[in-house]
Amino acid sequence: MVDPGALGARLASSAVAPLVKKLFVKDQPGAALVTKPVRISGLVSFKGEKRDVTPKDVEKIADELVRRALKAAGPGELPVDATEAVAVRTALARSLAALGTLTIEDYEAVALGPEEFARTLRSQSAVAVASFALSRDAELFLERLLHTASLHILNFFTQRSTYIARQQTQQSQQLAQLVRAVDVLLERLPSQSAEDAAFEARYASYITARHGTLTIYGLDVYAGTSEWPLDTAYLSLEATRGRPGEGAGQVVAEQVLAQHDHVLLRGVAGSGKTTLVQWLAVTAADLTYQHGLTHLMGRVPFVLPMRRIVRPGTELPVPEEFLTSVGCLVTGEQPAGWVERVLRAGRGVLLVDGIDEISEERRKDAKRWLRDLTRTFPGNLWLVTTRPSAVPDKWLDTTDFAELSLSPMTYDDVATFAHRWHRAAGVDEAVGAALLRSVRSAPELERLATNPLMCGMLCALHRERRGFLPQDRKSLYEAALTMLLERRDVERDVVAVRMPFATQVQLLQKLAWWLIRNSRAEMDRSEAVHILGEAAPSMNLDGSGEEVYAWLLLRAGLLREPAHGRVDFLHRTFQDYLGARLAVQELDFGLLLDHADRAEWEDVILLAVAHARPKEAERMLQRLVADGTARGKLLAAASLRYAAEVAPSVRQQVEERVRSLIPPRTEREAFTLAEVGGGLVLGLLPGPDEVEGELAYLVPLVAARVGGSSALHFLTRFRDHPDHQVQLVLTASWSVFDREVYVSEILAHLSRRPLVPVHSLDDLHALRSIGGWPNIKVIGAYRVEDLTELIVPEQLTRLSLDAPHPVEGLAWLSAFPNLVDVTVDTGVSEAERMQVPSRIQLNALTSQDN
């Protein structure tokens, strides 16, 4: 017998909406433009002066609703007999008739929502309905019918009244979404037995409880930070379809199954694959269907971690064994044949997590298993996850799997993650803000913060060390390596052959130092296998070079294969750390310093100083300053904070040499410093309290020329500097950086607000987002309509138009009531068009701003 509660909801919009509409008076001309709420009792069509239907007709409407619902059940599955069907119809009619007695207004009804509104109707007709003595099944049938009718009644209210649309936009959207959800479910949900329906509800609750928290592995953190709610922790990431240069395209990760029924998703260690699996499972199990993802509505999730379902000497599970294989606690309640019925109906979301976490031999079995299941049970959704190199390209091509890869986190993703992490851990927001400043100001940290695992590590370590994370770079890498090479698999219960931590590090640093010495970003797989094969005997490893390589690739989390037969490090910064470690072990200081003039060796040298013993570090510093080059002096100065111990005389020597470069004394020196020092120079520049006078602007000018998020963070320290030239550099440099970030971090905080150059409509949109700007210089062709629409009229006081063909006529300027100064210039020099100002441009801008 079909579940009577589910049956009451099995009515599509096309069946219910026309019937519900008959209960209310027809809209008069202009009715949709009402500007005030309307009492519900004044809307019904069976009461008052404007009767379109009689009270008897209300019974006919109720009868039609019951008839259509019973018809949807099919013969032999009726939840009520003919006598009770009549009683349900009469009770439903009495409840609908209660609409004529409601004194609440339409917008108040919408605010109640369909559940509470249905209860309100029942309470109004409680005495009349109580006399029918309905059975439990009939009561459930009536409740669902009334709920369905209430949903469409409220949705009808939102469609006829612009007043409700204005006052309760969110509720209106939710009601419309629920109506769409019902229609989707009707297409997808088959007739269910009461036993199946009850178990699915129980199973959905289990999935939400089991996968509703996210665990952060491998972190020594305070109690309460290792697990946090998934709805708080989940971060929407992007997935890339195809490889760069091959028509690659971005898609929101949780939408991959909306575009493809079968997906193989690749992602490096900690990139968020398992978290995505958890999110999809919990979302599919959400029976309120308020997530708006129609491809997940009415579906049943099965989370199948490969490390749990693949056991030695056993076959992979058949559908009936899915829940047992993962240790599901409600397995004993599962009705016989339930999984097969779900899959036959095409309602499954099968989330196969971690192909890389099983042996290569079992991956062949897994491939056959996936092929057989997808062919036997078509129409279901499949997501299979793996680390990039565990299986070759088009591994599941024969079963029509689309291949995508999780993308690294963006600047905004990192900020969002840090905010949520600290909020979930109960940590003051100021701690999270300090971490973001550290990440933005330190390129090595910024390069690490590319996936949730590494961001979680940075958050935890930053909290543990009370904000001193950037000053202890060597310890940061050591902690990261410990987590990735040793602790993560142990804590995840991954069954694999263990390799000692020290052995892994020694092997990886041999690969890293080879890449650095040969000025390579990646190597052939055969080269890596050869290096590891030669090292294996001296480390007492039994396996061949191929076996050692395969183990490191899959389990270490630091290597990846970006293309077939090629291998590189997950983060270049780990390559530099490990390579520097081996260079110091092998006393290759001469080789290191011979490459001090090359930017790609910069981090290697800094980290070699960190690994070196005191006397070794001092000799490196002395040789760097002895070569007399600006780069050598800057590299030596930056290396000071990496050395554990330095003799005072050596420190003094380095500091004296760098004073000839910092702070710069001319614009030429500033440009040279930025070009030679790059990101290295940012940590050596003086702060706003250490520079004054007419040359103060040269310090932020250096940072602007360097560019990047670390430079942007440095510039935030100059937002309150009183010097006009400093403020001018800040406004004139915004096109070098990410526009939205720069506007929120720099421009929005400037008090003087000098002339800002505008090159595009996006620039005008950005200025409008912070309330407008008083002094604007429009560079390039423009349309009057764009200027009058996007420039905030009350804010603008001075306008400069710098275009080869300015618009004739100035009448349009009357749109700006506070405008007092207008400049029109058609002769634009190259210096004036520079994104970062030169002295010539600064003078030109200053003359217009004074």
| Residues 260-278 pLDDT 10s | 889 999 887 667 888 889 9
In a domain, 564, yes or no: yes
Is residue 844 within 8 A of residue 821, CB to CB? The reply is: no
In a domain, 483, yes or no: no
Same domain, 533 and 565: yes
570 confidence band (pLDDT: 50, 70, 90) = confident
Distances (CA, A) of 454 to 279, 494, 504, 587, 776: 20, 19, 19, 31, 42
Reported as half-sphere exposure (CB side, CA atoms, 13 A), residue 848 has a value of 25
pLDDT at res. 185? 47
Cα(196)–Cα(239) distance, rounded to whole angstroms? 35
Is residue 819 within 8 A of residue 842, CB to CB? The reply is: no
Lowest-confidence region among 316-325, 368-377, 640-649: 640-649
Same domain, 179 and 33: yes
pLDDT at res. 163? 54
Lowest-confidence region among 354-363, 383-392, 455-464: 455-464
Same domain, 697 and 603: no
Tokens read off for 632 = 């050598």
Tell me which range, 217-226, 535-544, 685-694, is most confidently predicted by mean pLDDT: 535-544
Bin 355: left if φ > 0, else alpha if -120 < ψ < 50, else beta: alpha
* Residue position matching structure tokens 């009270």: 55
What confidence tens digit (pLDDT) does each residue in 29-58 have?
433 444 556 666 666 666 555 555 566 777
In a domain, 199, yes or no: no
Cα(810)–Cα(505) distance, rounded to whole angstroms? 70
Average pLDDT over residues 706-713: 78
Structure-model confidence comparison of residues 103 and 334, the more confident one: 334
H or E element at residue 441: helix 429-441
Is residue 273 within 8 A of residue 291, CB to CB? The reply is: no
Lowest-confidence region among 79-83, 118-122, 507-511: 79-83
663 confidence band (pLDDT: 50, 70, 90) = confident
In a domain, 480, yes or no: no
Cβ neighbours, 10 Å, residue 653: 16
% of residues, the chain, pLDDT over 90? 15
Assign 262 to helix, strand or coil: strand
Q: 278 - beta bridge partners?
A: none
In a domain, 829, yes or no: yes
Average pLDDT across the chain, whole number: 77
Strands (E), 654-717: none
Cα(613)–Cα(589) distance, rounded to whole angstroms? 12
What confidence tens digit (pLDDT) does each residue in 756-794 have?
898 888 888 888 888 888 999 988 888 888 888 889 989
pLDDT(382) > 90 = yes
Tokens read off for 672 = 């040279």
Tokens read off for 337 = 């044949």
Beta-carbon contacts of 126 under 8 Å, excluding residues fewer than 6 positions away, are none
- CA nearest to 444, candidates 596, 577, 605, 580: 577
Same domain, 576 and 596: no
pLDDT at res. 362? 85
Same domain, 376 and 401: yes
Burial of 503 (0-12, 13-18, 19+ CB in 10 A): middle
581 confidence band (pLDDT: 50, 70, 90) = very high
Burial of 364 (0-12, 13-18, 19+ CB in 10 A): exposed
pLDDT at res. 839? 34
Is residue 803 within 8 A of residue 832, CB to CB? The reply is: no
* Domain membership of residue 532 as a residue range: 501-582
The 3-state secondary structure of 107-135, one letter per residue? HHHHHHHHHHHHHHHHHHCHHHHHCCCCC
- Given 472, 492, 517, which residue is the final one in a domain? 472
pLDDT(256) > 90 = no
Q: Is the peptide bond prior to 663 cis by the omega test (within 30 degrees of 0)?
A: yes
Same domain, 103 and 237: no
Is residue 256 within 8 A of residue 238, CB to CB? The reply is: no
Same domain, 693 and 653: no
What confidence tens digit (pLDDT) does each residue in 790-829 have?
899 898 999 988 877 666 677 888 889 998 988 887 654 4
381 confidence band (pLDDT: 50, 70, 90) = very high
Cα(574)–Cα(270) distance, rounded to whole angstroms? 15
Lowest-confidence region among 252-266, 607-621, 708-722: 708-722
Cα(380)–Cα(395) distance, rounded to whole angstroms? 19
pLDDT(321) > 50 = yes
Q: How many domains does the chain have?
A: 6
In a domain, 748, yes or no: yes
pLDDT(587) > 90 = yes
The 3-state secondary structure of 381-405, one letter per residue? EEEEEECCCCCCCCCCHHHCCEEEE
Burial of 86 (0-12, 13-18, 19+ CB in 10 A): middle
pLDDT at res. 659? 80
What confidence tens digit (pLDDT) does each residue in 170-205 have?
555 555 555 555 555 445 555 567 788 789 889 999
What confidence tens digit (pLDDT) does each residue in 122-132 have?
787 665 555 56
Burial pattern 245-279, b for ≥16 Cβ within 10 A else e, equals: eeeeeebebbebbeebbbbbbbbbbbbbbbbbbbb
Same domain, 232 and 378: yes
Tokens read off for 196 = 């199946």
Average pLDDT over residues 281-286: 88
- Given 535, 559, 582, which residue is the final one in a domain? 582
pLDDT at res. 170? 52
493 confidence band (pLDDT: 50, 70, 90) = low
pLDDT(579) > 70 = yes
Tokens read off for 326 = 């993962």
Cα(202)–Cα(198) distance, rounded to whole angstroms? 6
pLDDT at res. 489? 58
Same domain, 381 and 236: yes
Same domain, 516 and 374: no
- Given 431, 457, 472, which residue is the final one in a domain? 472
What confidence tens digit (pLDDT) does each residue in 520-569 have?
878 899 999 999 999 988 888 888 899 899 888 877 778 877 667 888 88
Beta strand pairing status for 213-215 and 227-229? Answer: antiparallel
In a domain, 176, yes or no: yes
Structure-model confidence comparison of residues 492 and 283, the more confident one: 283
In a domain, 484, yes or no: no
Beta strand pairing status for 523-524 and 566-569? Answer: antiparallel
pLDDT(220) > 50 = no
Beta-carbon contacts of 512 under 8 Å, excluding residues fewer than 6 positions away, are 569, 574, 575, 576, 577, 578, 579, 582
pLDDT at res. 714? 83
Distances (CA, A) of 430 to 60, 115, 228, 426, 437: 64, 42, 20, 12, 11
Same domain, 791 and 711: yes
| Residue 753 per-residue DSSP state | -
842 confidence band (pLDDT: 50, 70, 90) = very low
Same domain, 305 and 253: yes
Provide the whole-model pTM. 0.54
Cα(245)–Cα(229) distance, rounded to whole angstroms? 38
DSSP result, 360-386: HHHHHHHHHHHHHHHHHSTT-EEEEEE
Distances (CA, A) of 728 to 442, 534, 708, 819, 825: 26, 60, 19, 21, 20
Distance from the first to the final alpha carbon of the chain: 85
pLDDT at res. 8? 42
CATH code of 524's domain? 1.10.10
- CA nearest to 5, candidates 287, 282, 203: 287
